[in-house]
Amino acid sequence: MKKPAVIGKNVRKLDALEKAMGTATFTTDISLPGMLYGKVLRSPYPHAKIINIDTGKAEKLPGVEAVVCYKNTPRVKFNTSATSTFTIPPLEPVEDQYIFDSVVRYVGDEVAAVAAVSEKIAEQALKLIEVEYEELPAVFDPLEAMEPGAPDLHGPCRAGKNIPGEKIHLELGDIEKGFAEADEIFEHTFKLPVQKQAQMETQAAVAQVTADGRVTVWSTTQTPHPSRRIIATIFGLPYSKVRVLNPPYIGGGFGVRIGLSAKAEPIAVALAMQAKKPVKVVYSRREDFIASDTRHSGYVTVKTGVKKDGTFTARQMEGILNAGAYCSWSAETPGVLGAMGLSVYRCPNQMYDGHSVYTNTTPAGAMRGFGNPQAMFAIESQIDIIAEKLGIDPLEIRLKNIMQPGDKWVLPYPCRSSGLAECIKKGAAAINWQRRGKFDKTGTKRRGLGVGIGTHVSNAWPFCGDYSNAYVTIQQDGSAHLAAGVPDMGTGTVTTLAQITAEVLGISYEKIGVTFADTESTPFEIGSHASRTCYASGMAVVAAARDAKKQILDYAAEMLEVEAGDLDIENDTVVSTSNPEIKAPLSEVAVQAHLKGRQFIGVGKIIPENAPPWLAHFAEVEVDTETGQVKILKMVAAHDVGKAIHPQIVEGQLHGGLAQGIGYALGEEIKYNDKGRQLNDGFHKYMLPTAVDIPELKAIIVEAEEPSHPYGVKGVGETGLVATAPAIANAIYNAIGVRFFELPITAEKVYRALKE
């Protein structure tokens, strides 16, 4: 392969200048002529029937131009997540919600919405809507919601009481035989909290409806094409008459808008249709907390059979997750939890059973890691318990058992590459692992070191369908335009895809223009999720650029009177590989073609394979035994990401993931009171890390060769927090000898545990 000209380099990010200057446009910045402001009335009860709703007074308030509720909006069921777009038969998508319903199922559920000439008037109007509720019994814990006496949130479910979708079952080998062969068996149950994405831009959408019924929605979605499908279906419109796009920037995502931006889009469209004017809906931060998907809380049980020498003979897992009031991604998340949890270590006999359970809490959906951090907190905590019992070093037991390329696992694609051993070794060196066990144990500040490892995916298949398309069009001046439907939520997608385009075409990076995240000007593309954009969207871009390149070379061959196979493009010049004297600037080739009525238009269409990224996280902590305070001194994250197209972007993804992982480990949690109200519905009550909470973070990039991608890329977006929490929990155990089976490990929990 040629030495890369653009990939692997930290080129200037395409979105950075606008963002640094404050001129980048986000959905919340959009203003259109005549635009109205939408506000939403939300349920104060966790479960209730709406006996009567009277919107008359609100409609009469001057400045109010539309009021919508279940009585005057489509009775079409949907799922706010993109899942319904990808669920492949025989599985059926769970479509369990309306824009507005006559039953509310959690505190924050949508009751009605108003559009008015100002936000203030819209808020006043909400107070004039009269609603009579009949309270229904509510349930908040997934285990209780499966009990026979618990209320049914959505009527009978075919998989079991309050279970959305299917139960997931994965199996490899013979689990009974595996446990029979074991010298020791370990079984532990772990409890996981509700974490919030807390992306900086709240859920938002601006909808415009033309007189002839065409709909345009600018929104914060991570998946414009799937979102268009949901919106078109709700309102009964041809997909071709609905345009969904980012404007083009999104203030973060972390999974919270894979599909709709909560319900911002359909509410804005419903209001715009009634008012016949554009409507903007921006969630307040409190709405974003209470009425927008969270990470799944729940319970994970791991049972492991092991030989005295540390070889695993059997591993059985069970995951029971809290779906909240509507399904969203709750049918898929338990599958990823099990599959990722079982795919880190080679073990001949494995079994997983998992599912979600409806409760009267905020819906849980996708959040960075998608079930994997839940799995790995359990597994990696238990691996340390096993290692200690058997008297084996935590690194040794891991290195002995980790998955190797070619090993059998529960996933339907092969494990083709692994840099995990290198990650463990490099990470251990960077954290100075040999100090473990040699810290002073006499004072009130106790130090400890811990490790956690894991894997993830590089796209969404086999958990749901996955494919990508892209166009690359050569312009008459020899520059190239890429059209890809995938958003850039800050992950550097546009930059890396432009790098890939430039690399394939031999055109300067500066000459690549990109249109992204717009259903009207890009072919179907799933969007930004599942750590897939560089891997899967990147593959489509490679295919499109190769197609365009072939057309260029075929044309240039005629022009230069040589064989096309002898030509290549370097530095914006078509050049003969056998005789460098034979060459023509690409601008010349493009304009000649133009004058003869030709343009080079490359189309890329791919169905991706999948590939495992690998990671090893190391934490050094200091626990104050007088206060229970845990201070993280340093974190090292060594990641096999395949080829790093833009190493600085990769590091940024890892740092950001680590910070969220630190929050997950030590502080972030949404709790509910006995009335189903969130106790942590804003930034001052929800303890996410600020700059002062973040220690030195060291990201180490390992580039194992991955054959399933033309440039050897693997996923990286989510991996940064897969094993952060167990690395920290294991370090805390190493420091004070207390094992925590529940996150987050707050100072209060540490203090109580030390007192006992």
Partner 1 sequence: MAQMILKMILNGKPVERRISPGDTLLDVLRGDLGLSGTKKGCGRGECGACTVIMNGKAVNSCIVPAPRAMNARIETIEGIGTVEKLHPLQETFIHCGAIQCGFCTPGMIMSAKALLDKNSNPTREEIKEAVAGNICRCTGYVKIEEAIMMAAEMIKRERRK
Applying CB under 8 A, does 726 fall inside the site for partner 1?
no
Nearer to partner 1, 10 or 577 (CB): 10
Nearer to partner 1, 220 or 473 (CB): 220
Q: How far is CA 487 from the centre of its chain?
A: 13
Nearer to partner 1, 592 or 648 (CB): 648
Q: Which of residues 101-140 bind partner 1 (CB under 8 A)?
A: 120
Applying CB under 8 A, does 688 fall inside the site for partner 1?
yes
Q: In what order do the strands lie in the sheet with 696-702?
A: 445-455, 614-624, 630-640, 696-702
- Per the omega criterion (within 30 degrees of 0), is the bond before 148 cis? no
CB of 693 to partner 1, least distance (A): 9
List of residues 6+ apart from 327 with CB closer than 8 A: 79, 81, 83, 94, 96, 164, 165, 356, 358, 363
Applying CB under 8 A, does 547 fall inside the site for partner 1?
no
Name which position in 657, 710, 712, 744 contacts partner 1 (CB under 8 A).
657
Applying CB under 8 A, does 660 fall inside the site for partner 1?
yes
Nearer to partner 1, 22 or 149 (CB): 22
Q: Do 279 and 313 touch, CB atoms closer than 8 A?
A: no
Q: Do 201 and 252 touch, CB atoms closer than 8 A?
A: yes
Stretch that binds partner 1, among 138-146, 237-245, 501-509, 685-693 (CB under 8 A): 685-693
Applying CB under 8 A, does 251 fall inside the site for partner 1?
yes
Binding mask 282-301 for partner 1 (x = CB under 8 A): --xx----------------
Q: Give the Cα separation of 301 and 353 in Å (integer).
A: 10
CB of 127 to partner 1, least distance (A): 16
Applying CB under 8 A, does 684 fall inside the site for partner 1?
yes
Residue identified by tokens 């717009």 is: 518
Applying CB under 8 A, does 20 fall inside the site for partner 1?
yes
Applying CB under 8 A, does 180 fall inside the site for partner 1?
no
Applying CB under 8 A, does 21 fall inside the site for partner 1?
yes
Nearer to partner 1, 246 or 459 (CB): 246
Q: Is 406 left (phi over 0), alpha (psi -120 to 50) or beta?
A: left
Stretch that binds partner 1, among 10-18, 180-188, 604-612, 707-715 (CB under 8 A): 10-18
Nearer to partner 1, 270 or 282 (CB): 282
Q: Give the Cα separation of 95 and 77 in Å (integer).
A: 6
Name which position in 150, 163, 337, 697 contacts partner 1 (CB under 8 A).
697
Name which position in 250, 264, 290, 534 contacts partner 1 (CB under 8 A).
250
Q: Which of residues 479-518 bind partner 1 (CB under 8 A)?
A: 489-492
Q: Give the Cα separation of 460 and 340 in Å (integer).
A: 12
Applying CB under 8 A, does 77 fall inside the site for partner 1?
no
List of residues 6+ apart from 646 with CB closer than 8 A: 7, 8, 9, 10, 11, 13, 492, 495, 496, 499
Stretch that binds partner 1, among 6-14, 206-214, 335-343, 626-634 (CB under 8 A): 6-14
Nearer to partner 1, 126 or 357 (CB): 126
Cα angle 43, 47, 48; round to 5? 75
Name which position in 94, 470, 630, 649 contacts partner 1 (CB under 8 A).
649
- Please report the DSSP string for 287-321 in residue order: HHHHSS-B---EEEEEEEEE-TTS-EEEEEEEEEE
Applying CB under 8 A, does 175 fall inside the site for partner 1?
no
Q: Give the Cα separation of 282 and 200 in Å (integer).
A: 13
Using CB under 8 A as the binding criterion, the count of chain residues that bind partner 1 stands at 55
Q: Give the Cα separation of 627 and 665 in Å (integer).
A: 17
Applying CB under 8 A, does 201 fall inside the site for partner 1?
yes
Q: Give the Cα separation of 215 and 231 in Å (integer).
A: 9
Applying CB under 8 A, does 209 fall inside the site for partner 1?
no
Q: Give the Cα separation of 361 and 316 in Å (integer).
A: 29
Q: Give the Cα separation of 10 and 376 in Å (integer).
A: 32
Q: Give the Cα separation of 44 and 107 in Å (integer).
A: 5
What residues make contact with partner 1 under the rule CB under 8 A? Answer: 10, 12-13, 15-26, 28-29, 120, 197-202, 249-254, 284-285, 489-492, 648-649, 651-652, 655-660, 682-684, 688, 690-692, 694, 697
